[in-house]
């Protein structure tokens, strides 16, 4: 697949991943906290999850395929030696952090949040963290066209 097509899919998925989280943070989270109503978040997550998770999986697949096209294959990851490899390795670490937050939300927070609005602050922390990490991945990705960092 051409690098350009991979980049277009990557950017579309980045819009969905980051945009979906920003909408949650600014469009739904304030009302949920004001009204202490966790269902506002749970309803949004239910609808967004299939689209968001598909976007995240495609981000990883297209990102890794583009990294290979830049010559950054698995044996170079996490060496932090060359500028593009530094961007790729940093994004992979942020991806790992995103997965850890997702697992923590899925298995620790969400089961309790369903019946307990007292878990809203913890869920808010997870949502804001994943959103900020997504924005960072976007900003770091933009460095590639300037030669990396
Ligand atoms: C939440 C996840 C991610 C977001 C929001 C994201 C976002 C972006 C954005 C906005 C760009 C800029 C493209 C441009 O300047 O035209 C980019 C580029 C890039 N990303 Fe990601 N990315 C994510 C995950 C990943 C992952 C997991 C990898 C794999 C290591 C990756 C590898 C790359 C590469 C290699 C580029 C350079 C493409 C190019 O300009 O040719 N990304 N990313």
Domain boundaries of the chain, sorted by first residue: 3-146
Which residue is listed with tokens 């943070």?
A: 25
pLDDT class for 143, splitting at 50, 70, 90? very high
Question: Exposed (0-12), middle (13-18) or buried (19+): which is 113, by Cβ within 10 Å?
Answer: buried
Residues 34-54 have pLDDT tens digits of 999 999 999 999 999 999 999
pLDDT of residue 149: 95
CB 98 within 8 A of CB 130: yes
For ligand 1, residues with CB inside 6 Å are: 7, 10-11, 14, 17-18, 59-60, 63-64, 66-67, 70, 88, 91-92, 95, 134, 137-138, 141-142, 144-145
In a 13 Å sphere around the CA of 139, the CA atoms on its Cβ side amount to: 7
Quick one: tokens of 21?
């989280």
């Amino acid at each position: 697949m051409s690098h350009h097509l991979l980049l277009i899919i990557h950017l579309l998925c980045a819009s969905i991943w980051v945009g979906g989280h920003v909408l949650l943070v600014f469009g739904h989270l304030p009302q949920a906290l004001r009204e202490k109503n966790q269902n506002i978040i749970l309803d949004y997550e239910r609808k967004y999850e299939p689209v968001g998770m598909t976007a995240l999986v495609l981000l990883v697949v297209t990102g890794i395929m583009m990294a290979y096209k830049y010559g950054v294959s698995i044996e170079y990851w996490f060496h932090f030696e060359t500028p593009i490899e530094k961007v790729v390795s940093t994004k992979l670490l942020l991806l790992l952090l995103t997965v850890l937050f997702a697992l923590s939300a899925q298995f620790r927070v969400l089961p309790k949040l369903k019946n307990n609005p007292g878990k809203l602050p913890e869920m808010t922390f997870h949502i804001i963290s994943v959103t900020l990490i997504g924005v960072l991945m976007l900003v770091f990705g933009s460095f590639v066209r300037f030669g990396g960092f």
